[in-house]
Structure 1
Amino acid sequence: MATDPNGAVPNVEGPDAETGVAGALDDLVVVSNREPYQHRYTEEAGVVVDTPVGGLTGGLDRVMRRTDGTWIAWGDSDADPSVVNAADCVRVPPGDPSYTLRRVWLGEDAVREYYYGFSNQVLWPLCHGLHGKAEFDRAFWERYRDVNAHFAETVAEHVEPGSTVWFQDYHLALAPRMVRQSLPAGTPLVQFWHIPWPEADTFRACPEGEALLDGLLGTDVLGFHVPEYCRNFLDCVARELPGATVDRDAGEVVYDGHRTRVRAFPMGVDAERIGDVSANTPDGFWESFRREHGVVGSTVAVGVDRLDYTKGIPERLDALERFWERNPEWRGELTYVQKATESRSAIPAYQRLGTEVRDGVERVNDRFGTDEWTPVVYLEEHLSDADLYGLYRHSDLALVTPVRDGMNLVAKEYVAAQPTTPGEAGVLLLSALAGADDDLGDDALTVHPSDTDGFADAIGEAVSMPDHDRDRRMCRLRSTVRTNDLDAWMGDVFAAVEGVRDGVGSVGTGDTAD
């Protein structure tokens, strides 16, 4: 999990310098469930540090290095308590300390009820439109409220005049309202919700829905990935909070005397870095990877997912099975590599999913496999950045087919890792139910995960697509991903913060309604 501690810093000033974006970086306080650095014990080396690898955590880490700010997060690793000072703080990154990591401690009951409970057995399924999987338990809610209060108290200790507070994701929906009254006047509060926001009829299934909306409306800027989620949120506010004034055209809510701007900020990836790592894959990597994992055949498809019921892995296996059933000439020619990462295995629904996926892989391999060819190569082992991006680069198609997803950055990472040499481009198959479909759908092959026949047809179209069509599609996808990368996303968010500071009525992209 190591990464370069001196990696490039996102250019958040860049084209937005005239908006005063840099000002939003002064004394930035980031608040998240997940911490950017973990300290753990090893028998060989004692305490070692795991550093962020790409994605949001890696991007925010590089921004934080410019701020001398504070990142507040749950300290969940075994050696975390041993390295903090009396105030539960440690300077990071190791070797080149430039900001403060303030750790919040959670007991076993809090982890079980706040994290595994309300966060991931209520909000996660509910927001993904799967309320039938939600486990409503009053103890979950009470612990979620208590932990949010604990985070809010910690935030108040670290905010100074001129600070910006940026909350991350669904674990901390109540904290903005809790902390607002204790902050210096004019302190911008921002929250980015990284998962979908459900339709109003689905949201009504949550008994604590009104309290969640009240908490989020303590922010000045509330960000979602795509306009659809903004519209859903505004619909929920209009239905559940009679005292709120909702302006759908402006994307604003006035509630309890406070104005919240609701904006779409489609998140990107560090496209330049991914492309560089991919292009510099060592000679012989692909031959070695194929040999080590038994990947044979002329064509390789890839899927990279957490073992989560929203990712559509069983549906994907069904579609591949249908494809090989209908197209026997592709047996022995198309190999599918599924990289899976175990996730939230303390939750029974995730345990059942893991069993379902492994059983599905075995079923397909038993049906079609031969002594020389394994149709589905299933990997749960850790892959380094170089190995993962190398796998993307050499795969002829990527299957990114969640049944629901806030964005799905795997789709964008696959595009960023693709070679630019004519005739070597891959094809992206993308679920219509992923947020990434909003900006990539025109040039990807769109699939509906539950339409097994249509999904199998799309696989057939992808493996048979002429080189010039693959190149044309990937060229446009690459341009989109590089233009709307992680730097651009952060720049838009910070520009929104400056709009709040300046009292500007319209901030961010403004993409909230048709």
Structure 2
Amino acid sequence: MKFSRFGILVIGSLLVVVVGISFIHFQREQTALRDDLNRRARVISKSLAPPAIRILKNPPAIDEEDVAERLEGQGRTIGLMICNLEGKPIALSSTLTDTVTCNDEVMATLESGKESILLDEIGGQSLHRLILPLKDRTGSLLGTLTIVHDSSYITKRVTSAVTWMTLSLAILAIVIALGTYLASRRSFQRSVTQLLDWMKSSKSAEDLPPPTESLLRPVSREVEKLTARLRAAKETAKEVSEANRVSNLWTGARLKGHATFSIGNKSLIVVSNREPYMHVKKEGKQRVIIPASGLVTALDPVLRATSGIWIAHGSGEEDRDFVNSEDKILVPPESPLYTLRRIWLTREEEERYYYGFSNEAVWPLCHLTHHRPHFEEKDWQSYIKVNEKFADAVLQECGKDQPFVLVQDYHFTLLPKLIRERRPDAVVGLFWHIPWPTPESFQICPWKREILEGMLGANFVGFHLQSYCNNFLDTVNSLLPVRIDWDRPGILHNEGLTTVKPFPIGVQLWSERGVASDERFREKANMWRKELELNAKRLIVSVDRLDYTKGIPERIGAIDRFLEKYPAHRGKVVFVQLAAPSRVHIPRYREFVTEVEGLVEQINWRHGTEDWKPILFLKSHHDPETVYTFLRMADVCIISSLSDGMNLVAKEFVAAREKGDGVLILSEFTGAAREFQDALQINPYARADFAEVIRVAIEMPMEEQKKRMSRMKAQVIEHNVYGWAANLITEMTQTVEVGISSRQDFQTSKYL
């Protein structure tokens, strides 16, 4: 058997440890035995010191021999020697006659007047000598007393003990090394076996997880990426082949094929504030949820097809527990196809960048609802810092090939320029999900030019409506030294061309979202009707975030006016408002919630009875199944936004009408109003007209309902979210060739 380098390293390390321990034990054992012999010699010397002193003072011949021979044969004591000041032996044991004399060491002890201990090899013997200076009562030196012991047993005993210990440790070390080697070899073999099994399973229908043993962890990361790419390619090929049977309708499969064909092996990076998968704790357990977001619905299929990277703020309370050392996680959890990289923000950054500048400055600035924007220098600086943090993350993910970056919404106006400055070859798109105001409204922003210059770092900027595009072009034209190409349309500037186009977003059909089946819907509908005591009453429904742009007070006022003007409908109609709390850290949002709740209480008190409340205000984060249930139950859906980029609830209501009935009341200030001419459009500020439209909707004949709903549903199906995403992908690939020539055109035009 050939040992691996790892095994040799382990064995070598253990041997070094064994030798070290043996040496330390040798030193300790030898020191202990010597100390014991020293104590024995001192005891003997102290007991023989008085007679030795008398001999030195008056040395009778007989006593000399008695003292000198007294210790012979006493264990390891060989004998003694008494020397006078002249260095002559006064008494000497016969066993020491040929080995010990009053030599220099004895004379040195006389000179120092201190005890000395010597270990010598004399005459082939290992001797231990303790030399004690002898003094009379006045302190005068008289001579020395030397006690001699055989010390050879120390070496023998230490050698024996160390030998046995060394052998024991060596055997133990070999056993440990062998066990470690066998365990590591088995672990490695198991990892390799798992890797081989996974590679074999990729050829069959069986879907085994990639190996994650510690010895193969670096390889496992690459294996997981390869797994995602192979799975995405397999699914794309399968779905594209099925999609070929369908007409020109955009589907998830067709979108995947389009993305794969357009981008190829180049990396697609999506950047948004909201993440597509969030880890939270519910009922004490960690769970993954998909935020209710049209953006997530639209872009998730694209990332799945391209095995791209989604960079977003990690806002889930349990998000940190699921990422690796690079703050990444493969998603979707059940079948990983692309990478989600989470960016961590401090509480202050989130407070100032998101709640502050994004939602107290940019949001009211772009929504013409007569709410004053709040501009703070500290919020702006935090906004810059967070944009730079996201830019660093994007650039870290850009490979050597030309990257495609799709930036989402008003949270990252500076990001396109930051990317362009460090990766001029990057193709950057920016989609703006909210309205763009008129130049006169936008110019109150203290940092208007910085925002516009940041946005122009993108190859294209997309909005929902052409009117928003026109407002943006007018704003840039009035504030920056650029040339507007109204035919393209686009903006020519020093860095090239930024095209500006409308890309009205759509929704994904409810049947593709895995919501309730017909049986489950009936069960949920009956449950809600019983819980809310709706019985056979006509149902008007609205679904909104609790935001001042949604026109909720105006809607409640119209309900009040409707019940006041048409009392025949009292007790027969119920208005249900599904309201999701939003941005509760911002004072004006908290005040808005209090205002709405006060209005609901007031209207219910004015018109309600003991067994009927005209308005049911359900404030909670409602899951998609609940939203779908109420939209399908409703006879009428009201969208009364004061300003809205598109409003996907209008489209989701239409998509939920399985029987083709129902009436949509839609604010003319929403982007969706341009597409839904068959909706009953209203001005939310005109309360009397609003109330009259509610009456028309409640009393509309079924035939008229179905005629209108049929046309709106065809619009929703044809212009769905997949078509929107496909248009963005197409625009990104087309801007690659256009940018170079456009930069040259602008440079030339400056001299004309």
Residue 730 of structure 2 corresponds to which residue in structure 1? 495
Residue 273 of structure 2 corresponds to which residue in structure 1? 33
**1:231 touches 1:248 (CA, 8 Å); kept in 2?**
no
Residue 391 of structure 1 corresponds to which residue in structure 2? 630
Normalised TM-score (structure 1): 0.91
Greater Rg, structure 1 or structure 2? Answer: 2
Q: Does residue 444 of the first structure (1) align with residue 684 of the second (2)?
A: no
Residue 435 of structure 1 corresponds to which residue in structure 2? 671
Residue 172 of structure 1 corresponds to which residue in structure 2? 412
Distance apart, 1:25 and its partner CA: 8.1
> How has the CA–CA distance of structure 1 residues 505 and 443 changed in structure 2, closer, same or farther, with 3 Å as cutoff?
farther
Higher relative contact order (CA 8 A, sep 6+): 1
Q: Which amino acid aligns with 1:125?
A: P
Residue 456 of structure 1 corresponds to which residue in structure 2? 691
Q: Which amino acid aligns with 1:448?
A: N
Distance apart, 1:65 and its partner CA: 1.6
> How has the CA–CA distance of structure 1 residues 353 and 80 changed in structure 2, closer, same or farther, with 3 Å as cutoff?
same
> How has the CA–CA distance of structure 1 residues 475 and 136 changed in structure 2, closer, same or farther, with 3 Å as cutoff?
same
Distance apart, 1:146 and its partner CA: 1.1
Q: Distance in 1 between matches of 2:612 and 2:265?
A: 53
List per-residue Cα deviations over 1:138-187 (Å, max 9, x = no partner). Answer: 111111111111111111111121321000000000010011122262x2
> How has the CA–CA distance of structure 1 residues 504 and 116 changed in structure 2, closer, same or farther, with 3 Å as cutoff?
closer
Question: Gapped runs of 5+ residues in structure 2?
Answer: 1-234, 241-249, 742-752
**2:580 touches 2:622 (CA, 8 Å); kept in 1?**
no
Q: Distance in 1 between matches of 2:493 and 2:718?
A: 35
> How has the CA–CA distance of structure 1 residues 25 and 208 changed in structure 2, closer, same or farther, with 3 Å as cutoff?
farther
Q: Which amino acid aligns with 1:466?
A: P
* Residue among 609, 622, 629 paired with 1:370: 609
**2:268 touches 2:309 (CA, 8 Å); kept in 1?**
yes
Q: Does residue 214 of the first structure (1) align with residue 449 of the second (2)?
A: no
Q: How does 1:70-469 map to 2 (within 5 A)?
A: 70-130=309-369, 132-160=371-399, 161-183=401-423, 185=425, 187-241=426-480, 243-271=481-509, 273=511, 277=515, 280-282=518-520, 283-420=522-659, 425-440=661-676, 442-469=677-704
Distance apart, 1:82 and its partner CA: 2.3
Distance apart, 1:41 and its partner CA: 3.8
Distance apart, 1:229 and its partner CA: 0.4
**1:432 touches 1:447 (CA, 8 Å); kept in 2?**
yes
Distance apart, 1:258 and its partner CA: 1.5
**1:116 touches 1:347 (CA, 8 Å); kept in 2?**
yes
List per-residue Cα deviations over 1:19-77 (Å, max 9, x = no partner). Answer: 986427842100011111122345633x3222344622133223212222111111122
> How has the CA–CA distance of structure 1 residues 408 and 378 changed in structure 2, closer, same or farther, with 3 Å as cutoff?
same
Comparing both structures, which one devotes a greater share of its residues to helix?
2
Distance apart, 1:280 and its partner CA: 2.5
**1:12 touches 1:22 (CA, 8 Å); kept in 2?**
no
Q: RMSD of the TM alignment (CA)? A: 2.5
Q: Distance in 2 between matches of 1:361 and 1:392?
A: 21
**2:437 touches 2:472 (CA, 8 Å); kept in 1?**
yes
> Could you tell me the percent identity over the aligned residues?
38
**2:297 touches 2:507 (CA, 8 Å); kept in 1?**
no
Residue 483 of structure 1 corresponds to which residue in structure 2? 718
> How has the CA–CA distance of structure 1 residues 437 and 265 changed in structure 2, closer, same or farther, with 3 Å as cutoff?
same
Q: Count matched residues.
A: 495
Deviates more, 1:166-175 or 1:275-284: 275-284
Deviates more, 1:6-15 or 1:133-142: 6-15
Q: Distance in 2 between matches of 1:355 and 1:294?
A: 25
Q: Distance in 1 between matches of 2:740 and 2:687?
A: 47
Distance apart, 1:278 and its partner CA: 6.4
Q: Distance in 1 between matches of 2:349 and 2:514?
A: 41
**1:92 touches 1:99 (CA, 8 Å); kept in 2?**
yes
Q: Distance in 2 between matches of 1:279 and 1:205?
A: 50
> How has the CA–CA distance of structure 1 residues 318 and 70 changed in structure 2, closer, same or farther, with 3 Å as cutoff?
same
Normalised TM-score (structure 2): 0.63
Q: Which amino acid aligns with 1:417?
A: A
Q: Distance in 2 between matches of 1:16 and 1:505?
A: 28
**1:286 touches 1:390 (CA, 8 Å); kept in 2?**
yes
Residue 511 of structure 1 corresponds to which residue in structure 2? none
